[in-house]
Amino acid sequence: MRVLGIEGTAWAASAAIYDTETNRTTIFTDAYQPESGGIHPREAAEHMREAIPEVVGDARDATDQIDAVAFSRGPGLGPCLRIVGTAARALAGTLDVPLVGVNHMLAHLEIGRHHSGFESPVCLNASGANAHLLGFHNGRYRMLGETMDTGVGNAIDKFTRHVGWSHPGGPKVEAAATDGEYIDLPYVVKGMDFSFSGIMSAAKEAYDDGEALEDICFSLQETIFAMLAEVSERALSLTGSDELVLGGGVGQNHRLQEMLETMCEDRGASFYAPEARFLRDNAAMIAVLGAKMAAVDDTIAIEDSRVRPKFRPDEVGVTWRSTQSPPTHSISDEPQRGAEATVEHVGETMVKTRVPKRYRHPALDERLRRERIRSEARVTSDSRRAGVPTPVLRDVDVPEHRLVFEHVGNADLRDDLTEAHVRDVARSLATLHDVGIVHGDPTTRNVRVEGQTWLIDFGLAYYSDTVEDYAMDLHVFHQSLDGTAEDPEPLATAFEDAYREIGDETAISQLREIEGRGRYQS
């Protein structure tokens, strides 16, 4: 089978031919380059209108056989997507071949899975307008974590525009960072979600205050990419997967690849980053996924092929691969490695040690380990005093980054997901929120069960009187249900019902607002 793929979500007008028999792709791309600032939607659409016919013509000239036409249906800029959709419909109709509508972000993931040979990896997509983690579970890719404000590439571009650099800013930051030294910048992760707005504001302020530009660029990379590596490791820990693939244009950054490879090496996982031409927006990934979909007749009628500018990858029913989910691993008495620490069962206690992270800059690593062990010790005790079941804290050794807890439970909630347990978690979170405590990482790995439930791992916890922060706790738990439960919807309903019993209803309303913000753009 030979599939012609067409990509045009934002800046890259691209067409490609993929031959399933030879596993070869031929790519033709004409990239839009703004004269100043970031991508201008009108200019991008004008470029797409001129360039798409040319690259599609080049692709047609490269083959004497086309068995299907695939196009990027979304997410992306509406005007650009409509031009691509029109071209794909016209070509499929003219050739009388099937039409395949491809989710652009799943194409980033699947090109990595295709070339790596991985069975069921977690995927970190790091692109201009997005940053998120996907894991396959129950026949669908689940959103395990994502940016709470802007995409990683757009965040970096906001800083580079501030200092007067042209688009794209990422390569310029990478070049300047080679001569930089580390300075502290904000670091914000919430479970497997993360935020870049604070670090961008701080970077702009540092520049305005006269900090060396190379130091800011170095620290931006060290901080932002450490956040992405940390949440990727947390996703591996939650899902039990030992495979990670990287997707998206920002994935071309060598420091990001180095961090992810180091993280995976240290936890015994496999890492794969596609070559650069498959990381940046390209039609080859559209053609490859289009071929997989066409092979199982996952095609669309021309009249049903409207584009979807906010087409989330977790909305796609996955037809082209096995429904088998990656295995999970239960806690045993042997030392276990989570995302941040090792935990060893010693007698009637659990000894938790926050281990150094080689992928992080030493100064940042020491800062986070010190802050988190102190937070965990303090908030665990405060939560217990508030009436929330937590392990009794036996000992704290800040210099050694070690905590000793009472041993509780015989399994993680992930391995014993019942409505009763989920309701207990909801009541515990409502109790925490009532006294101004945010857990920060309430996933199904951070709850222990045995008849009752205990909340554990308060390393990301903090104090707040903001409903938005309470709703983020609920959002993080929802995401972990999606990634680990066989049937998450009844559990999510039971969780919210139980939270309402003693919690603030406005937190549920805010949860709906968080879920519906449409942060996901392209």
pLDDT score of 313: 93
Alpha-carbon gap, residue 225 to 357, rounded angstroms: 13
Give the pLDDT score at 356: 96
Query: Which residues is 447 bridged to in the sheet?
Result: 455
What are the φ and ψ backbone dihedral angles of 420, each rounded to 5 degrees?
A: -60, -45
pLDDT of residue 338: 75
Q: Which pLDDT value is given to residue 334?
A: 47
pLDDT of residue 520: 47
pLDDT of residue 35: 65
Q: Please name the helix (run of DSSP H) or strand (run of DSSP E) that holds residue 354, with its range, or none.
A: strand 349-354
Give the whole-angstrom CA distance, residue 205 versus residue 366. 24
Calpha distance 76→11 (Å, rounded): 10
At 11, is the secondary structure helix, strand, or coil?
coil
Exposure pattern of 428-460 as b/e (b: 16+ CB <10 Å)?
bbbbbbeeebbbbbbbbbbbbbeeebbbbbbbb
- Which active-site residues does the annotation give? 441
| Residue 323 confidence (pLDDT) | 66
Domains of the chain: 2-111+278-315 (3.30.420.40), 118-276 (3.30.420.40), 330-516 (1.10.510.10)
Task: Compute CA 451 distance to the chain's CA centroid, rounded to the nearest angstrom.
Answer: 33
φ, ψ for residue 464 (rounded to 5)? -160, 150
In this prediction, the residues of the chain whose per-residue pLDDT falls under 50 are 326, 328-334, 520-522
Question: Which pLDDT value is given to residue 333?
Answer: 39
- H or E element that contains 426: helix 419-434
Residue 415 CB contacts under 8 Å (≥ 6 apart), including other chains: 328, 330, 331
Angle between helices 197-208 and 152-162 (to 10 degrees): 20
DSSP string, 38-64: S--HHHHHHHHHHHHHHHHHHHHHT-S
The three-class DSSP label of residue 32 is coil
Residue type, 324: Q
Q: Check residue 517 and give its pLDDT.
A: 65
Q: Which two tokens stand for residue 171?
A: 């390569």
Assigned token pair, 240: 């039990």
